[in-house]
Chain A
Amino acid sequence: MERQERLIYLDNAATVFPKPAGVLSKMMDTYRSLGVSPGRGGYDLAMMASDLVMDVRERLARFFGSDDPERVTFAANASDALNLIIQGMMEPGCHVVSSRLEHNSVLRPLYHFQQQGILSYDLVKPDGQGRIDPEDIARAIKPATKMVIINHASNVTGIIQDAQAIGRVCRNHNVPLILDVAQSAGLLPICMREWGVSAIAFTGHKSLLGTSGIGGLVFTSDLDIRTTRFGGTGVDSESLVHTQSYPHRLEIGTLNLLGIIGLGAGLEHVEQLGLDVTRTKEVALAQRLAQGLTEISAVSLHGPAGWDNRLAVLMTNVRNMVPEDVGAILDGDYGIAVRTGLHCAPLAHQDLKTSPQGGVRFSIGPFNTIEDIDAAIFAMAEIGKNK
């Protein structure tokens, strides 16, 4: 029994799919000729691989408006990067400010280290439209606050936070702002220095159009992060002390070269497409979807009104149905892939009143079409009949 061929993919907030053919072919071609260990040998091929990695670091630093390519650390994904910075900056007795919109990539490490008695934290609650008031951040900051971690754009509702205003507050309080840009990187301009953002955690497999398994941390030169993982770096091998210079300080073992090549190729594709063009197109499709779903009486839409400060993410439910069943019917009967449940952001769903079962999330990507959206509206109308 083969899976039906037709697929309308509306789960782009999880992973953008498919990837541009040019990205995949660049990965294969480059890796085929250069797939050795970067920074681990003096032969030309290893040096060329090192140069390629450094080139991607430099481009990422520029892309995110940072100032030091050596403070671009590769990680497996945004969750990995967030773990790196949380563990690398926390100190016994410290305090962290974050929000109820966060993904479990932030909530779980904070909860874990709170349970271990290492840190305490406060979660700022967004307003009814999902916006975080920077003044609430200011009020939550204490003398022991070591960092503020905020989700730039929500994977549940798409709401975009005013990172610049939050950055101002953090700068005034001399507390580093860490931005989780898993959803926004590749769709929104991010200007770390200008906005007062000390670090960003990104992943490559969403709107940066790379593959899964690559992401990272970009941080400014005034921030130091402690080493929390130890191993080979290819540098100072005679020493048992982990290399303390950047970028080796936070990286261990052979880098994910294939992923880094893909990230570089994805970044190139994103820049060629243009951030504004991609986001405008995605949001236009989301508006069309929202309009169509609004006309179905059994379908409820959750989240902010309007699309000015929002990515193309739409949270829905169908009356008297569990979200997983809606997702199963969309998949099995209509070939439409969506994500159901709590989307690893349980507190955001609590505030939307969609907990405990969560919702049915439609998330639009750069390759969706009007036909995809109309098919989704039709399918939801059929599912909603007699409900």
Chain B
Amino acid sequence: MSEHEGRTIRRPYIRKIAGVDIMFDGEGFLINPSQWTEDVFLVLAQEAGVEEISDKQWMAVRFIRKFYTEQGKSPLNHHMKIGTGLSLAELEALFPGGIKYGVRRLAGLPDPKGCRKAVGWSAKSD
């Protein structure tokens, strides 16, 4: 943690998952999305409170990975909707953490870095 103008900002960190050192940003997103594997997903999902991955969850995550691998960029909202056949509201309910900290983060997409302060998600981040 560091202080900047009185605000706490979480630094990037490295964790070993399934024998591999993986670097996460301060919000718990993979810094290098190519380090994502299904083993990494299972560990992160379990930490988020998902005991068993449903078919729908696998389908959504695999669509996102395929899109990212083929297009080299994260799917937009309408890509996610059409590609998964789920509404954004359904995607929001799919994982703890919702769309951003749930489905996008667990699928290993880069942090969208929106106009807000970086706050951590993972319980085992430091």
Contacts and interface: CB of A to CB of B under 8 A. Distances in A.
B92 A342 contact: no
Given A1-B79, A322-B101, A328-B77, A341 B89 contact: no
A329 B114 contact: no
A340 interface: yes
Contacts of B83: 1
- Size class of the B contact interface (CB-based, 8 Å): 20 to 34
A329 B119 contact: no
Contact of A332 (B5, B7, B78): B78
A351 B65 CA distance: 39
Contacts of B100: 322, 324-325, 328
B87 A324 contact: no
A355 interface: yes
A343 interface: yes
B88 interface: yes
A331 B117 contact: no
Contact of A323 (B78, B79, B116): B116
A342 B117 CA distance: 8
- Size class of the A contact interface (CB-based, 8 Å): 20 to 34
Contacts of B78: 1-4, 331-332
B79 to A, nearest CB: 5
Given A321-B98, A332-B81, 6 more contacts: A324-B100, A324-B114, A324-B116, A331-B77, A333-B81, A355-B117
Interface of B: 5, 7, 76-83, 87-89, 92, 98-101, 112, 114-117, 119
Interface of A: 1-4, 111, 321-325, 328-329, 331-333, 339-344, 346, 355-358, 382-383
